[in-house]
Amino acid sequence: MKALYHLLLYVSFWSCCQAAQADLVVIANPQSGIEKLSKDEVINLYMGRNRKLATGVNAMPLDLAAVNAEKARFYAMLVNKNLPEINSYWARLMFSGQGSPPLQVETTDEVLDIVGSNKAAIGYIERKKLDKRVKLIYDPTQ
Amino acid sequence: MLRLLRTSIVYRSAFIVLGIALLVGIFFALLSYHFSAKSEQEQARQRTQASLSTVENTASIACFVLDQNLAAELARGLIKNGDISRVQIISDGKVLAEADKQSTQKSEPSALTMLPSIDASSQLVHEVYSPFNSKEKVCEIHLDPNLDFIREQSTSKARFIMYLLLLQALAMASAVVYVVLNMITKPIKNISDRLHTLAPESGDKLCLPDGNEKDEIGQLVRDVNTLVASLLETLNEERTLRIKHAIGEKKFQTIFENAETGIFQLNFAGELLSYNPAFLRMFSLDASSGSTKIANALTSLLEGQELRLHLMIDMAINEARVMSDDFYIQLAASTHKKWVNLVISPAEDGILQGLVNDITERKSQEESAKQLAVTDHLTGINNRLGFEKEISRLSKEHANGNASGFFLLMIDLDKFKQVNDSHGHIVGDQVLVHFSQLVSNTVRKSDFVARLGGDEFITLLKDLTSLEKAEEIAQKIITLVSEPISINDKLSVQIGASIGISYTGPTEFIADNLLRQADAAMYEVKRSGRNAYRVVHLDAYQNHQDAGIA
């Protein structure tokens, strides 16, 4: 019975989030020199493990402020954690004084602006907001 | 200390209980040390594990981003756990962070290494995985257990248990001491003190100690009382018996002392062992004279008769019979003989009991009766019976061959009948008395004189072999008898004597022949004119003389 309940929960969750995640993609500047990133590479960049891109420049991952619904969806998709967990994670690293969380911006539009103008910047947006200023480098659906 | 252990039940039992309690305590202390050390180690492991799981998230983050600060912070956190002596966080073979306990006190292994099974090589390695990928190992945490701490912990626990056990042992020992002292030793001490001063003869008894009336000590006291009472009773009986015995003894002693009969004990050799005063009186012995003299008094007094005494003793012992015999003794003090009757009966162990009675009076009565029988009432010399006894005695002596020859003189008075007829019997009797005195005075004392009857006399000249001597005596008698005998102032008579003499040598002889020959010789004298003597039957004398010459 319990097993069945778990299964149902999982199936419903997966179908919902699949749909939710499906519309978030990771983008970079078209001149960044990056074609594609694996999920692990995205995680490493966003969770502060890697600070440099494959091209050797310091990466500048962009995060949304907590008010954006996309943020929670992004981290759920990426590392399967909720925002308090992510906050707690960064809190520890900040305490040690070594790590710092990604730069936070207010809106998806700002993300598009910065990525479009900065070769080192990467960010996540809803798929439908993709435009020519940016380049898709990680699509979770693929 | 040893003396106390030997003499004091309290000390001994306390010592033993304490010893046992200590041994058991030490055993259980060691056992508990062993187990508590193990469990302490296990607990230390669990505590370490718990610490690790607390920091696991942070560790995983620190390792994920290789954050040395965070890792070092974490290591410092871990090292605060007392069970851990060293923390290393190693990522990809590189040490990310490290922390060491500045162990101020080095372990003192002397007391502790002997303690068991603290696994010194039990370094704990914990693998830490990425927070985002549970399959990706990001680092390892190496933990060294703080052995000293664990040891100290378990030792202190074990020590605590040990102290408890020792305390328990002490408490038990003192409880035992208290119990033994109050329930056993004190009552026993009281009893023994009472016993020391107990005067059972005045009816004293041990009193039952309070609280012990029904137990073994009470039983002991009752038994002692019973024992004392029965001993006392026995003692009194014994005493009464002894008094009775003493009275009886005294009676016998009185009898022994005052008896007129001599009572004595003698041994096989005839030596006196004990005697009563009557015995001493009887033998005129002085109690103060030397004991050896008295011991040998019997044999020395019976000198010459000791053979009979020894025969009596032998028979009394060998045949277990009461022997009795008469002995005569010549006492030094008085000149007269004493006759005693000795009765000897065997007692035990070769000792004989004897009784001695003075029978001198009886003996002398007997003797005088005998004497009377052989005495002529008128003249006081032997009568015919006396002569017959004498001659048969001599005949026996000669037959046995231990004798010498003798002369027999047969004397017949001449003219006695006329005296008797003319002057009466009284004068005749006087003449007979006169004549017998005359003859007795003429012959030697050892010679024998008898009146056979009427005016017939006989004389035996003993141990004489000389005919001349015999004839001389015969002649002397004839001469003396022919002298006038003055009866009173007015009357004087004269008589004569005819004597026949016969002789026998030391050989055997026939008494009748001797008499007959002498008689015949005497009648020859009478026929040939009286008042003379004749020696007849000289063949025997001649033969003897010849034999003597040859």
Question: Does an H or E element contain B135, and which?
Answer: none
Q: Which of B69, B132, B133 sits opposite A96 (nearest CB)?
A: B69
Q: pLDDT confidence of B451, banded at 50, 70, 90?
A: very high
pLDDT at residue B513 greater than cutoff 70: yes
The rounded mean pLDDT for chain B is 82
Question: Does an H or E element contain B334, and which?
Answer: none
Element counts in chain A: helices (H) and strands (E): 5, 5
Which chain A residues are Cβ-neighbours of B69 within 8 angstroms? Answer: 96-98
Find the closest chain B residue to A43 by CA distance. Answer: B132
Q: Residue B107 in contact with residue B80, Cβ under 8 Å?
A: no
Q: Which of A49, A81, A96 sits opposite B64 (nearest CB)?
A: A49
**A40 in contact with chain B, both atoms CB, cutoff 8 A:** yes
Calculate the alpha carbon distances from B499 to B68, B417, B476, B545 in Å. Answer: 191, 17, 11, 22
Q: At what angle do helices A69-79 and A2-22 cross, to 10 degrees?
A: 120
| DSSP character at residue B212 | -
More confident residue, B495 or B8: B495
- Count of alpha carbons within 13 Å of A128, Cβ hemisphere only? 4
Calculate the alpha carbon distances from A105 to A68, A111, A112, A113, B318 in Å. Answer: 10, 7, 10, 11, 159
Q: Nearest to residue B308, comparing CAs of B325, B320, B283? A: B325
Top residue of A46, A92, A94 to mutate, by most chain B CBs within 10 Å, is A92
Q: Which of B70, B131, B132 sits opposite A96 (nearest CB)?
A: B70
B200-222 residue pLDDT tens: 777 777 777 777 778 888 888 88
SS3 label, residue B274: strand
Q: Nearest to residue B129, comparing CAs of B61, B67, B60, B70? A: B60
Enumerate chain B positions whose Cβ falls within 8 A of a Cβ in A. Answer: 58, 61-62, 64-70, 73, 131-133
A32-90 residue pLDDT tens: 888 888 888 899 888 888 888 878 888 889 998 877 888 888 998 888 888 898 888 88
Q: Are the beta carbons of B61 and A92 separated by less than 8 Å?
A: yes
Strand B496-504 to B533-535 pairing: parallel
Q: Are the beta carbons of A49 and B73 separated by less than 8 Å?
A: no
Distance CA A120, CA B283 (A): 171
Give the distance between the most distant pair of CA atoms in chain A. 54
Q: What are phi and psi of B310, to 5 degrees?
A: -65, -35
Q: pLDDT confidence of A22, banded at 50, 70, 90?
A: low
pLDDT of residue A26: 92
**A90 in contact with chain B, both atoms CB, cutoff 8 A:** no
Distance CA B170, CA B167 (A): 5
pLDDT of residue B542: 55
Find the closest chain A residue to B55 by CA distance. Answer: A92
Name the pTM for this structure: 0.43
pLDDT at residue B110 greater than cutoff 50: no
**A79 in contact with chain B, both atoms CB, cutoff 8 A:** yes
| DSSP character at residue B271 | -
Q: Which of A43, A80, A93 sits opposite B61 (nearest CB)?
A: A93
Q: What is the 3-state secondary structure (H, E, C) of A37-66?
A: CCHHHHHHHHCCCCCECCCCCECEEEEECC
CA B220 to chain centroid, in Å, comes to 36
Which chain B residues are Cβ-neighbours of A95 within 8 angstroms? Answer: 70
- Poorest-pLDDT segment among B118-132, B166-180, B243-257, B514-528: B118-132
